């Protein structure tokens, strides 16, 4: 008779703590890890992990599955890359709280900021909620593959309280601020893991309007932050206006907000001219009593994919292309192959886009071709600008011809962030700081532009195995993908392969771990398209003791849960058995 639901045998366990790997077994019962080391009893299911890594499930701090978690039972691509817990409500945007009269405004905001088409959300959202607690209940009713945690998003709260004044970014009155604090308190009591906001000028609605929180003043932000302090739990997530302003201007505000909350704060830290000074200021702030601020880093270029099958490419804002943009791909391809159309499009100047990301689509010096895989640290000489110089042609000509390849399915990678020097060397210094965490995969967002939810697989392949220099240990990287983010958001019940922790696990063939090139799939509501990316090497991904992905294929299991509030490990679990050092 089986004593356990699942036993993973003989794996090389990298337990998430950062400690040295060891060889052993893992036993699971009722969704919890109950033994590690040498397990004598049998499992109803057993996995032979000899020669394979056994790790905790990955935790992604920055996603936008607010819509997809309503209309889909799979949170892929994240769950295709070993992720078993995601946090959404980031950047201060989401769909709750929301009165029926404000639904279109929030749809347009998500469409502009996160490239989720309005037609998709209009059809996919059920709107069986108004308040934030109602939204959590709606999430709780739905089956899915992995766990979700939610931040209370600032923009919907602001619009719910202030209406059109909030959308216009008017200053909040004392009464407005008090009402917003009540809504945040209500959300935290219902199970929110914290609060998300944004002051980034690039965050705009599909109408080109700045995000409602852009002009939120210090009083509004600190009063909201203090609600987390009163609750005694929760994390603050913030996108600063770095890139438009400096870290010298931004870090003092972050410090003030963190001090008001007495809670952890994490913010987006992109590469900019003063990124090194930003880390110095961050480390200095964290030496102050009661301050816990973490820079959030995507460990590869923010990779915008360009092509005829996705949302943007170098000619998407030209007059000639705009006249054909609504044609089917095959028809557009036929037109673009005509010499006269080619000449006209190459001669056109690009118009001003509504979405600021599209404005990067002519950065030929940071634009690279892709093949069966994607090189996420390519050198400048193989950029479109570099190829053009070598061929004696213009970058526009080279890019145009690339777009026509593979029957119009060809994609080019554009490093729109974290790649100013066309290398990732600067990240080596970022990794050296204890105040840097990994995140920013943006799963569930930028459906037609970006597919960075695969960063967990990239981190393991590139940063621990394939990079020529500056590599990290597997133990360090697994810690950064598991226990470190889990603890930041108050989820002490996961991120470790140890008794008393949730049985979120990965069994990985490290030698075969590899990323595929992103592809376009059509599985969104209203027939919408999106980028997806698969990987080789995931022998099994396990959530709550159930195998949700086996050898790269999703199973029928949907054990994912809504995580309500901070979580503790189980104190009554069996103690770990003796481990054998590898």
Residue of 557, 525, 528 lying closest to 544 (CA atoms): 557
Domains of the chain as residue ranges with CATH? 4-58+502-529+536-581 (2.30.40.10), 64-303+441-470 (3.20.20.140), 305-417 (no CATH)
Give the C-alpha separation, 237 to 212, whole Å.
Answer: 16
User: What span, in angstroms and rounded, lies between the C-alpha atoms of 3 and 29?
Assistant: 8
Q: 55: buried, middle or exposed (CB in 10 Å: 19+, 13-18, 0-12)? A: buried
CA distance 39 to 26: 7
- Residues 183 and 97: beta-carbon distance below 8 Å: yes
The pair of structure tokens assigned to 453 is 């939810």
Can you give the three-state secondary structure of 475-520, one letter per residue?
HHHHHHHCHHHHHHCCECCCCCCCCCCECCEEEECHHHCEECCCEE
Nearest-angstrom CA–CA distance, 280 and 284: 6
> Rounded distance, CA 36 to CA 39, Å?
7
CA dihedral 26, 75, 453, 404 (to 10 degrees): 130
Contacts of 233 (CB under 8 A, 6+ apart): 188, 263, 490, 565, 566
Reported residue count of the chain is 582
**Whole-angstrom distance, CA of residue 13 vs CA of residue 5:** 19
Does residue 39 sit in helix, strand or coil?
A: coil
Sort 415 into a burial class: Cβ within 10 Å, 0-12 / 13-18 / 19+: buried
The Cβ-side half-sphere exposure at 579, using a 13 Å CA radius, reads: 22
Provide the residue-wise pLDDT of the chain in tens; the chain has 582 residues. Answer: 899 999 999 999 999 999 999 999 999 999 999 999 999 999 999 999 999 999 999 999 999 999 999 999 999 999 999 999 999 999 999 999 999 999 999 999 999 999 899 999 999 999 999 999 999 999 999 999 999 999 999 999 999 999 999 999 999 999 999 999 999 999 999 999 999 999 998 899 988 899 999 999 999 999 999 999 999 999 999 999 887 889 999 999 999 999 999 999 999 998 888 999 999 999 999 999 999 999 999 999 998 999 999 999 999 999 999 999 999 999 999 999 999 999 999 999 888 777 777 888 999 999 999 988 999 999 999 999 999 999 999 999 999 999 999 999 999 999 988 998 999 999 999 999 999 999 999 999 999 999 999 999 999 999 999 999 999 999 999 999 999 999 999 999 999 999 999 999 999 999 999 999 999 999 999 999 999 999 999 999 999 999 999 999 999 999 999 999 999 998 644 444 444 333
* 201, 203, 215, 279, 495 from 500: Cα distances, Å: 44, 41, 44, 35, 11
């Amino acid at each position: 008779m089986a004593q356990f639901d699942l036993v993973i045998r003989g794996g090389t366990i990298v337990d998430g703590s950062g400690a040295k790997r060891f060889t052993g077994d893992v036993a699971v019962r009722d969704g919890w890890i109950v033994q590690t080391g040498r397990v004598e009893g049998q499992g109803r299911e057993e996995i032979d992990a000899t020669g394979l890594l056994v790790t905790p499930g990955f935790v992604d701090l920055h996603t936008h599955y607010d819509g997809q978690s309503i209309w889909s039972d799979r949170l892929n691509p994240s769950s295709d890359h070993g992720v078993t817990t995601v946090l959404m409500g980031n950047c201060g945007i989401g769909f709750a709280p929301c009165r029926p009269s404000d639904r279109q405004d929030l749809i347009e905001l998500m469409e502009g900021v996160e490239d989720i088409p309005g037609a998709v959300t209009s059809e996919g959202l059920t709107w069986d909620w108004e308040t934030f607690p109602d939204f959590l209940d709606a999430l709780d009713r739905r089956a899915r593959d992995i766990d979700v945690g939610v931040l209370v998003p600032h923009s919907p709260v602001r619009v719910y309280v202030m209406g059109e004044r909030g959308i216009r970014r008017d200053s909040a009155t004392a009464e407005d601020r008090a009402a917003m604090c009540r809504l945040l308190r209500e959300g935290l009591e219902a199970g929110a893991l914290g609060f998300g906001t944004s002051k980034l000028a690039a965050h705009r609605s599909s109408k080109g309007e700045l995000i409602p929180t852009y002009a939120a003043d210090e009083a509004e932000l600190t009063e909201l932050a203090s609600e987390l302090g009163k609750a005694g739990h929760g994390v603050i997530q913030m996108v600063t206006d770095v890139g438009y302003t400096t870290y010298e201007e931004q870090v003092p505000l972050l410090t003030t907000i963190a001090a008001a909350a007495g809670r952890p704060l994490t913010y987006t830290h992109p590469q900019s001219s003063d990124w090194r000074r930003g880390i110095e200021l961050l480390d200095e702030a964290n030496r102050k009593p009661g301050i816990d601020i973490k820079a959030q880093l995507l460990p590869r270029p923010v990779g915008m994919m360009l092509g005829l099958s996705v949302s943007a490419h170098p000619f998407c804002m030209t007059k000639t292309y705009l006249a054909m943009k609504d044609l089917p791909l095959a028809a557009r391809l036929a037109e673009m192959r005509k010499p006269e159309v080619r000449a006209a499009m190459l001669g056109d100047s690009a118009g001003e886009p509504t979405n600021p990301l599209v404005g990067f689509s002519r950065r030929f010096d940071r634009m690279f071709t892709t093949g069966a895989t994607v090189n996420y640290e390519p050198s400048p000489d193989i950029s479109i600008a570099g190829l053009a110089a070598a061929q004696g042609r213009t970058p526009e000509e080279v890019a145009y011809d690339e777009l026509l390849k593979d029957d119009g399915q060809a994609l080019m990678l554009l490093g729109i962030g974290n790649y100013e020097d066309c290398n990732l060397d600067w990240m080596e210094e970022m990794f050296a700081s204890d105040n840097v965490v990994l995140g920013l995969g943006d799963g569930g967002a930028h459906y037609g532009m970006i597919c960075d939810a695969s960063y967990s697989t990239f981190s393991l392949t590139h940063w621990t195995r394939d990079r020529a220099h500056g590599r990290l240990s597997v133990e360090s990287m697994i810690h950064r993908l598991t226990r470190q983010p889990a603890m930041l958001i108050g989820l002490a019940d996961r991120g470790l392969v140890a008794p008393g922790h949730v049985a979120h696990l990965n069994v990985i063939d490290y030698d075969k771990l590899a990323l595929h090139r992103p592809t376009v799939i059509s599985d969104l509501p209203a027939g919408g398209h999106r980028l997806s990316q698969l990987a080789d090497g995931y022998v099994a991904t396990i959530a709550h003791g159930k195998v949700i992905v086996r050898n790269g294929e999703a199973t029928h299991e949907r054990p994912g849960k809504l995580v309500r509030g901070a979580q503790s490990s189980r104190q009554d679990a069996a103690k770990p058995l003796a481990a054998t050092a590898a």
